[in-house]
Structure 1
Amino acid sequence: MENIIIISGNVKYTITLDPGVWIFDDRRVDLTTYFSTKRENANSLEEYTKVVSKHWDREIMEGAIYPPTLKSEKKFEKEKVLTGTFGIPLKPFLTNSEPASDAQTFVIHCKDGEHEYPLETAYDLLLGFSNKGKPLKVDGPIHVYLGDGSNQHSPIKNVTGFSIK
């Protein structure tokens, strides 16, 4: 239970986060390249639809039997998961918690204190959960990165929870 992070406070729904399962989440991002590459502000539903459509088209054209190139792509992805450094955007979780209309402050609770940010800023936060394929056990379970990457080399560590005021 020490790896569970909770979003609570002035929200409609209290959200429980388990960083251990994010490695399987398609929303994960590679932290080694995330802040150095230019990102488009794309709609995640639109992006998901494109990926599913591409997969569907491939199955129709080539059948459900995977060609050798797809097998090697899957092997590459598995290897990447086992050795990569990953994070996940906080925005979907924060949105699902439905902060109250009068909520203004996002608080990151850590073992050594608290960090407060305006709620609007919290939607851009990134939660690091893996370093070189390993979970963040020593100073984790997650690290918090600011959306602009200004704390890329010194993220907020030892996070125990989030609350909204």
Structure 2
Amino acid sequence: MSKTIPVTGKVKYSITLDPGVWILDDRKIDLLTYFDEQQSQTDDLEEYTKAVASHFSREIQEGATYPPTLKTERKFEKQKMLTGTFGIPLKPFLENAEPLAEAGTLTIETLNGSVSYPLDKALTFILAFSYEGKPLTENGPVHILFNDGSNRLDPITDVRQFVLS
């Protein structure tokens, strides 16, 4: 089983996705809470600005040295990474491949056949890549979940390739 997934077809750039490195990606989402929380649309730039402002404010109040609570926070985050169940949105990867204007469908090729979806729906998919801190080796390397969670119990598995047409 290949651990990488190519994105090909009607794209400006054919790319390869490697789920093994996503655990370190800031865009990852906790799948244990994601579908249960109220979904809100956020702007990435707005989130980044808030994070920088918060960090700057903290440095002003507490100085540039790291307080003991920051060490505890880091330890908690590390533990969460080692035991968490995570996914990542498919949208940024498809945008990086730059679909051509005539691309309107995403075909997901799996071990058991293929499934096609309109590109606008595919932009909302979530790629589950980790379960309880371990990569998805069984039926992996990723499972595809719909943004609304309707297929949480029966995700698209055994993904081998994404083809835009």
**TM-score bracket for this pair, using the shorter chain length:** over 0.9
Match of 2:106 in 1: 106
The one-character-per-residue Cα deviations of 1:96-127 (angstroms, maximum 9, x if unpaired) are 11111111110111111111100100110000
For normalisation by structure 1, the TM-score amounts to 0.96
Spell out, residue by residue over 1:13-54, the C-alpha distance to the aligned partner (whole angstroms, 9 max, x if none): 112111011000010000111111112101112112211221
Structure 2 Cα separation of the partners of residues 15 and 46 of structure 1: 28
What TM-score, normalized by structure 2, do the two folds share? 0.96
1:60 aligns to 2:56 (yes or no): no
Q: Which amino acid is the alignment partner of residue 26 of structure 1?
A: D
Question: Which residue does 1:118 correspond to in 2?
Answer: 118
The 1-side partners of 2:13 and 2:56 are apart by: 35
- The size of the alignment, in residue pairs, is 165
| Alpha-carbon shift at residue 61 of structure 1 (Å) | 2.5
Q: Secondary structure at the match of 2:27?
A: coil
Which residue matches 2:34? 34
Match runs of 1:1-165 below 5 Å: 2-165=2-165
Q: Which runs of 4+ in 1 moved over 3 A?
A: none
Distance in 1 of aligned mates of 2:50 and 2:77: 19
Q: What is the DSSP-based 3-state SS (H/G/I as helix, E as strand, rest coil) of the residue aligned with 2:93? A: helix
User: Unpaired segments of 5 or more residues in structure 1?
Assistant: none
Deviation at 1:60, TM superposition (A): 2.9
Cα shift at 1:148: 1.5
Local SS of the residue matching 1:156:
coil
Cα RMSD between the aligned structures? 1.2
Query: What's the secondary structure of 2:108's corresponding residue?
Result: strand
Letter in 1 for 2:45: L
Deviation at 1:72, TM superposition (A): 0.8
Look up the equivalent residue of 2:97 and give its one-letter code: S
Taking every aligned residue pair, what percent have the same amino acid on both sides? 55
